[in-house]
């Protein structure tokens, strides 16, 4: 996802080289003595991914002169291993059949193996982060706690009378924004950034992380070119920004849509119908407008950072997150 408009080919080459080394280190970190465990642990990693979190670590590490490449790459592996581990657990809870276009680990090896492989990857991440020092260990632990709290809040759902959209946005901030915030903060710390710059990067990471998930919400409905079947979240009854916005409608013309949103969508015909209705519904435009607004707020946070290719690339990340929903 490295933007191509940095106009600094030396910087872009350096970042891509780091990301290549991180990719190799990720595979190595998921190694195991047992061939079956090795295959299961490397399954999601080898399926590819956007590597958004490692990219943020790397870009933030270029905001100052102090970063040591080996530490940056270790930090990037830590956050991506944590993310990948959470995907194994998510897929078990969601009973997902696909992950990144491939058969999910829980479908291939069963729930028990998928859960244990997730635990293994969490352990590997904890082992690696210890080499970065106690402050990084504490941040990692607190981030993990937020991930779990976000998953619990999503599982339990909003309390009676609680605003569903506000509850959902907090879940997104905890489940997605928190680890992306930590990615940006790890990089800034390793760069030797000031305390204020570190706070800025953490806030930027959280905001752009929320935007990233909200854009995924839109893509789940509007795109036929992702690694999972369109409408997967709809079928599983997972709330998303477009569906929550659609549910606020009082227009009688939306009666069929609202009925379908509250129904069992196991039928392919019903799923296709609700996708068609949502794709034409104003909630998609409202969701896109919210993504643009939040992305611009994240971009404005960067104004106080040192000018240069790292800041430019971070600004362009905001554009790329928005453009993927068009």
Q: What is the mean pLDDT of residues 307-323?
A: 92
Question: Looking only at Cα atoms, what is the longest distance across the chain?
Answer: 61
Q: Which residue has the higher pLDDT, 255 or 104?
A: 255
Residue 94, exposed/middle/buried by CB under 10 A (0-12, 13-18, 19+)? middle
Write out pLDDT tens, residues 163-221: 999 999 999 999 999 999 999 999 999 999 999 999 999 999 999 999 999 999 999 89
Cα–Cα distance for residue pair 83/52, rounded to 1 Å: 10
CATH 3.40.50.12780 fits 194-325, yes or no: no
6 — pLDDT class (breaks 50, 70, 90): low
pTM exceeds 0.95, yes or no: no
Domain 7-171+178-193 belongs to what architecture?
A: Orthogonal Bundle (1.10)
Write out pLDDT tens, residues 64-103: 998 999 999 999 999 999 999 999 988 888 776 767 667 8
User: Which of 31, 57, 42 has the alpha carbon at shortest distance from 143?
Assistant: 57
Mean pLDDT (the chain, rounded): 92
Q: Structure tokens of 14? A: 């350096």
Query: Could you give the residue range(s) of every CATH 1.10.600.10 domain in the chain?
Result: 7-171+178-193, 194-325
What DSSP string describes 194-218? -HHHHHHHHHHHHHHHHHHHHHHHH
Q: How far is CA 186 from the centre of its chain?
A: 16
């Amino acid at each position: 996802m490295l933007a191509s408009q940095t106009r600094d080919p030396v910087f872009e080459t350096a970042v891509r080289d780091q990301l290549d080394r991180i990719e190799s280190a990720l595979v190595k970190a998921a190694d195991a003595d047992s061939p079956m465990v090795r295959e299961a642990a490397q399954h999601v990693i080898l399926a590819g991914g956007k590597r958004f979190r490692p990219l943020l670590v790397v870009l933030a590490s270029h905001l100052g002169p102090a970063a040591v490449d080996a530490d940056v790459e270790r930090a990037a592996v830590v956050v991506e291993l944590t993310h990948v581990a959470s995907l194994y657990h998510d897929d078990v809870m969601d009973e997902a059949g696909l992950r990144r276009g491939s058969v999910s680990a829980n479908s291939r090896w069963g729930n028990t193996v998928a859960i244990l492989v997730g635990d293994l990857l969490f352990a590997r991440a904890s082992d690696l982060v210890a080499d970065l020092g106690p402050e990084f260990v504490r941040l990692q632990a607190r981030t993990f706690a937020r991930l779990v709290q976000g998953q619990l809040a999503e599982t339990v759902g909003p309390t009676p009378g609680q605003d569903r959209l506000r509850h959902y946005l907090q879940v997104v901030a905890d489940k997605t924004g928190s680890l992306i915030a930590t990615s940006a903060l790890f990089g800034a710390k390793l760069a030797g950034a000031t305390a204020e710059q570190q706070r800025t990067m953490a806030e930027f990471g959280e905001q752009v992380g929320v935007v990233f998930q909200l854009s995924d919400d839109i893509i789940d409905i509007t795109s036929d070119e992702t690694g999972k079947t369109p409408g997967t979240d709809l079928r599983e009854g997972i709330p998303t920004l477009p569906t929550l916005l659609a549910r606020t409608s009082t227009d009688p013309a939306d009666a069929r849509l609202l009925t379908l949103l509250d129904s069992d969508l196991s039928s392919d015909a019903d799923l296709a119908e609700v996708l068609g209705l949502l794709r034409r519904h104003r909630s998609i435009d409202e969701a896109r407008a919210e993504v643009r607004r939040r992305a611009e707020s994240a971009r404005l946070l960067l104004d106080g950072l040192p000018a240069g290719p790292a800041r430019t690339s971070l600004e362009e990340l905001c554009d790329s997150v928005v453009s993927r929903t068009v």
